[in-house]
Amino acid sequence: DAKTTQPNSMESNEEEPVHLPCNHSTISGTDYIHWYRQLPSQGPEYVIHGLTSNVNNRMASLAIAEDRKSSTLILHRATLRDAAVYYCILRDNTNAGKSTFGDGTTLTVKP
Amino acid sequence: DVKVTQSSRYLVKRTGEKVFLECVQDMDHENMFWYRQDPGLGLRLIYFSYDVKMKEKGDIPEGYSVSREKKERFSLILESASTNQTSMYLCASSLRLAGIYEQYFGPGTRLTVT
């Protein structure tokens, strides 16, 4: 399985943008890049996913490098409620979601 | 609102007991999953099911079994609980095409085996 690498932790100030990086140098052509986050005492929740093009939704934006070997999750204005562990994982349609979540990036948001 | 529910938030069992963890989803999803989450190890897949009565092993199936008799319900069974199975257990579901569709997770069950 293709692996992802994320920093263990990042800090941000409230109301500032946050860029969470993810490296996936062994990504295959059929892998989708998914981001999830896990708030304290909750199960992970879906944030966004993409294949090749940048994606936007109400929660965040996903910027995908042209060679697809890295991606960045962008929170445009961090709030205290965005403090969570953020996971970047790769999925394709043949593995039925078997990819394992790593340790992710713990985002701390300071008021 | 989509929902994945788990039967208990907290559970305490004794070594050797048979333990059932239940998960129900109301989204008519084909795929259902059981993970365990431990500090420093992330979420690891135990089993998943892509249809009723179908199951496949994940990365760490030893000591666990599963049952999916109905589409909406996926049960994780610890035949004889051991202390190393103390963990947070998370259930999830998704539509069949895992690359395109997102997973929805339940709130988790924190199991302590004493």
- CB contact (8 A) between residue A43 and residue B102: no
Percentage above 90 pLDDT, chain B:
77
- pLDDT tens digits, A29-54: 888 999 999 998 899 999 999 999 99
Contact B31, B50 (CB under 8 A): yes
DSSP conformation class of B103: P
- pLDDT tens digits, B15-66: 999 999 999 999 999 999 999 999 888 889 999 998 999 999 998 999 999 9
Contact B83, B15 (CB under 8 A): yes
Q: Å from B90 to nearest chain A CA?
A: 7
- pLDDT tens digits, A1-20: 568 999 999 999 999 999 99
Residue A7: the pLDDT is 96
- pLDDT tens digits, B63-100: 999 999 999 999 999 999 999 999 999 999 988 766 67
- CB contact (8 A) between residue B108 and residue A93: no
d(CA B104, CA A44): 8
Q: Å from A18 to nearest chain B CA?
A: 23
Q: Which residue has the tokens 């890049």?
A: A33
d(CA A22, CA A19): 10
Q: Is B3 on the interface with A (CB under 8 A)?
A: no
Q: Å from A92 to nearest chain B CA?
A: 4
Residues B4-11 have a mean pLDDT of 95
CA angle centred on A109, ends A105 and B3, rounded to 5°: 65
Q: What is the 3-state secondary structure (H, E, C) of A11-69?
A: EEECCCCEEEEEECCCCCCCCEEEEEEECCCCCCEEEEEECCCCEECCCCEEEECCCCC
Q: Which of B31, B59, B99 sits opposite A32 (nearest CB)?
A: B99
Q: Which residues of A touch B9 (CB under 8 A)?
A: none
- CB contact (8 A) between residue B43 and residue A100: yes
d(CA B57, CA B64): 10
Q: Which residues of A touch B48 (CB under 8 A)?
A: 96-98
Nearest in space to A77 (alpha carbons), one of A2, A19, A5, A4: A19
Q: Which residues of B touch A42 (CB under 8 A)?
A: 107-108
Q: Which residues of B touch A102 (CB under 8 A)?
A: 42
Q: Is the pLDDT of residue A91 over 80?
A: yes
Residue A2: the pLDDT is 67
- pLDDT tens digits, A59-90: 899 999 999 999 999 999 999 999 999 999 99
- CB contact (8 A) between residue A91 and residue B99: yes
Q: Is the pLDDT of residue B2 over 90?
A: no
Q: Is B40 on the interface with A (CB under 8 A)?
A: yes
